[in-house]
Amino acid sequence: MPRSSRLIDNRKMQCPRTRGGNIDPSPDGWESTNNVGSQPQGARASPEAREAPEKDIRTFIRPTVAEVDLGVVRRNLATLRRAIGSKARIYAVVKADAYGHGAVPVALTLAPLCDALAVSLVEEGFELRSAGLRHPIVVLGAFYNRHHPEVLEEDLTPVVYDPADLDRFSAAAVRRGARVEVHIKVDTGMSRLGVSVADLPRVLERAAALPGLAIVGLCTHFPSADGVDPQPTMAALDGFLPCVAAARAHTSGGPLIAHAANSAAAVRFASARLDAVRPGLALYGAMPSSVVALAGIQPALRLISRVMALHDVPAGTGVSYGGLWRAARPSRIATLPIGYADGYPKHVRGAEVLIRGQRAPIVGAVCMDMLMVDVTDVPGAALGDQATLIGPDGVERITADDLAAWAGTISYEILCGISKRVPRHYVGATEAP
């Protein structure tokens, strides 16, 4: 049985559904304050209402959604292309569920516009193949656990750091009567994965002698490309270039793609672009650090919810677990149905959300499923008001970097950490490039 038929087909997976109108049938985007938990419930729905069209229960019941603008992702790629020029290939990195944006929809959007897709895990490559994507897919994480035949079967391009994997891929290719193309990873200073510079000539000789195997790529990773000091990156590049020359000498004149640049290196160091670049975070509208800047990059994700309860509390009242925050004045507290089980960081300090275009502070401990916000200074705050946790509202905006700073982490972790129970709602899928 082909591997693709044994994999979970995400296109066929259906979530539970219920009956009713659209998710936002009312003009203000909220069904009715009669449906908010703190309000008295009205009469049961009429038979006519029960016969309304089906809709996704995940977005109908709880109003917490990550909205992903695929048009923005597409435009970010175009911005990167203009910045790096037309010579270097682009391997669009969609690992970690496309940094929390949804691997399959993002990959379907980017595939026609890039030279290859890049993932970390073999399983991530299988997911894309199961969704029907036939574009080249490079597996950067290089952990195969003796599933080398399946990698070939699904036509994934493996990156190899362990010389023993060269033998395993060769044997799998010979059994299939096929040829496998691999990239070798070189460690130029990160000390994470990769063949050492000193060992590379021996590994190349070993690869050249193996049947059914061709070295078509050589790669490394720059761990400090987003740092203030460019010297570590330039030193790593200086160490990598002789490796590229040595690899080309072993390919008997065949093509060899050298790639090393992540988002930061692709933007900052023209000499590091080589034959291909591997942008990840920049595709989604964030930058690895404040020293990496590229005009035109826009965030593609909004994280939004709505006010599910309001409480007027007297001064001195504690809020959330442990009563760690206490009202210094009579206050109005709003509850939002989003918590750390959804990926919102528990240990934020000074965090804010946007309600009615105004900043409102999160107060008390973030709970597993909910968090509380002080809306005392938000005039007219009401049940059903939209709350923006990442994204714009009027002239105000909260970025993934803002939330990362409040949580003492990085934007990568914020975006990747938005959990699967937060539905992704996609817009901009059909707009022109």
Confirm whether 321 is a catalytic residue.
Answer: yes
Q: Which pLDDT score is estimated for 158?
A: 98
Packing angle between helix 122-130 and helix 103-110, nearest 10 degrees?
Answer: 70
CATH number for the domain whose boundaries are 301-398: 2.40.37.10
Packing angle between helix 200-208 and helix 163-176, nearest 10 degrees?
Answer: 10
For residue 284, what are the contacts with CB-CB under 8 A and spacing of at least 6?
73, 76, 98, 99, 101, 299, 300, 301, 415
Kind of pairing between the strands at 301-306 and 396-398: unpaired
- Cα(391)–Cα(400) distance, rounded to whole angstroms? 8
Q: Give yes or no for a contact between 66 and 105, defined as CB atoms under 8 angstroms apart.
A: no
pLDDT in tens, 2-38: 443 333 333 333 333 333 333 343 334 433 333 343 4
DSSP category for residue 298: -
- Cα(390)–Cα(397) distance, rounded to whole angstroms? 7
Residue from 161, 185, 284, 321 carrying the catalytic annotation = 321
- Cα(409)–Cα(397) distance, rounded to whole angstroms? 19
- Cα(349)–Cα(123) distance, rounded to whole angstroms? 36
Mean pLDDT score of the chain, rounded to an integer? 88
Count Cβ atoms below 10 Å from residue 227 Cβ, excluding itself. 17
pLDDT in tens, 98-143: 999 999 999 999 999 999 999 999 999 999 999 999 999 999 998 9
- Cα(48)–Cα(364) distance, rounded to whole angstroms? 43
The sign of the dihedral angle between the CA atoms of 337, 361, 349, 388 is: positive
Residue at token pair 């693709």: 4
Name the most confidently modeled range: 17-21, 45-49, 59-63, 285-289.
Answer: 285-289
Q: Give yes or no for a contact between 40 and 4, defined as CB atoms under 8 angstroms apart.
A: no
Torsion, CA 270, CA 283, CA 137, CA 210, rounded to 10: 30
- Cα(416)–Cα(207) distance, rounded to whole angstroms? 36
Q: Where in the chain is the domain with CATH 3.20.20.10?
A: 71-284
Q: Which pLDDT score is estimated for 288?
A: 83
The amino acid sitting at 303 is L
146 pLDDT more than 60:
yes
C-alpha count within 13 angstroms, C-beta hemisphere, residue 293: 4
Q: CATH topology for 71-284? A: TIM Barrel (3.20.20)
Q: Which pLDDT score is estimated for 251?
A: 78
- Cα(305)–Cα(339) distance, rounded to whole angstroms? 11
- Local structure of 325: helix, strand or coil: strand
Confirm whether 340 is a catalytic residue.
Answer: no
Backbone angles phi, psi at 273, to 5 degrees: -75, -30
Q: Where in the chain is the domain with CATH 2.40.37.10?
A: 301-398
Record the tokens describing residue 417, joined without a space. 């950490």
- Cα(427)–Cα(21) distance, rounded to whole angstroms? 19
Residue from 95, 161, 185, 412 carrying the catalytic annotation = 95
